[in-house]
Structure 1
Amino acid sequence: MLKQTFLACLLIWAGAVHLFAQTPVGKWKTVDDETGETKSIVEIYEQQGKLYGKIVKLIDPPEPNPVCEECTDHRKGQKILGMVILENMEKEENEWNGGKILDPENGKTYRCKIWLENKDQLNVRGYVAFLYRTQSWYRVEGE
C-alpha cells in the first residue's frame, strides 16, 4: 500500500513539474477572439531572459506585404511580416507579464500577460487600464 501511494505521489509530482517546465517558446497560430479567424503565425523566442514574439506568417492578408499604417511608434510604415509584436515578457511563477503587445490592425500597444492553458494553448491578454481582452493562440508543429 505504501509503495502504491509513493508511486501515485511521484506521478503527480512529475506531471506538475512537467507543466511548470513548459514554455511558450515556439510558433503559435493566432486566432481573432471576435471573429474566430486565424490571422497569423507568431514565433515566440527568448532573448536575454525575456520573451518576444514576431509575426512569421500572415494568413490571407488583405493585401500583399501589408504595413502598419496605424502604428504610432517606430513600427509605423514597417511591414507587418517579421514585425515584433510581443516584447519584454518576464516569467513570474506560471505566467509571463510586464511586457507589451501590439495589435497591428489598430496600431495600439497594450500591457500584456500570457500563460499556458496547456502545452498547446497559450492565453494572451492585453490590458488598457482595468479593461482587458484575451485571445487563445494554438501551438503550431513543424511550421
Structure 2
Amino acid sequence: MRRLTALAALAMAAMPAIALAAPGITGVWATGSEGGKVEIYRCGSALCGKIVDASRLRTNPDLRDVRNPDSSLRGRRLKGLVVLRNFRGGPSEWKGGPVYDPESGDGAATGYLTLRSDGKLEVKGCKAAIFCRTKVWSRAH
C-alpha cells in the first residue's frame, strides 16, 4: 500500500512538468490562405511569428513584401518575415503587436492570439477597439 501511495505522489508531482512540456502555441500553423504557414516561436520572453512557407513561395522563394504601404519596406523577403511580435500571456490567450498581413499589406498595432478548445488558433489584429480582423489558423502537419 505504501508503494502505491508513493507512486501516486510521484505521478502527481510530475504533472506540472508534463503540462509545461505541452506545445502550447509554439510551432508551425497553417494560415488557411495561399497555403501559408507561420512558425510561432519564443523571442526573448515573448512569442513572435514568421512566415515559413506559402504556395507562392514554393514557386518563387524570393518573393518580396510588395503590398507594404511603406515603400521602403517593399524589398523585404516574405520568407522569414516576422508578422507577429511581442505576444505575452498564456496558456490560452496572448496579447501583443504589431501584427502584419503581407497578403493585403495591412498591419495592426495590437493583436490577440486565442488557442481554442478545438486546437485552432484565432489570430486577431486591431487598428482600434472596433476595427479588428480575425483569422483562424490550424496546426500544420
- With normalisation by structure 1, the TM-score equals 0.71
Aligned residue pairs: how many? 119
Q: Does 1:70 align with 2:71?
A: no
Counterpart of 2:41, as a letter, is Y
Q: Deviations over 1:34-80 (max 9, x none)?
A: xxxx4311000012110100011112459623210222286431111
Structure 1, unaligned runs of 5 or more: 1-13, 33-37
Does residue 47 of the first structure (1) align with residue 48 of the second (2)? no
Work out the CA distance in 1 between the residues paired with 2:71 and 2:43: 22
Tell me which residue corresponds to 1:88.
86
Q: TM-score, normalised by structure 2?
A: 0.72
Distance in 1 of aligned mates of 2:58 and 2:28: 22
Gaps of 5+ in 2: 1-14
Deviation at 1:115, TM superposition (A): 0.8
Identity of aligned residues (%): 29
Q: Which amino acid aligns with 1:42?
A: V
Q: Highest Rg: 1 or 2?
A: 2
In structure 1, how many angstroms separate the alpha carbons of the residues matched to 2:77 and 2:52? 11
Residue 90 of structure 1: how far off its partner (Å) = 1.0
> Could you say what the CA RMSD is over the residues aligned between the two structures, in angstroms?
2.6
Structure with higher helix content: 2
CA–CA distance in structure 2, aligned partners of residues 67 and 27 of structure 1: 21
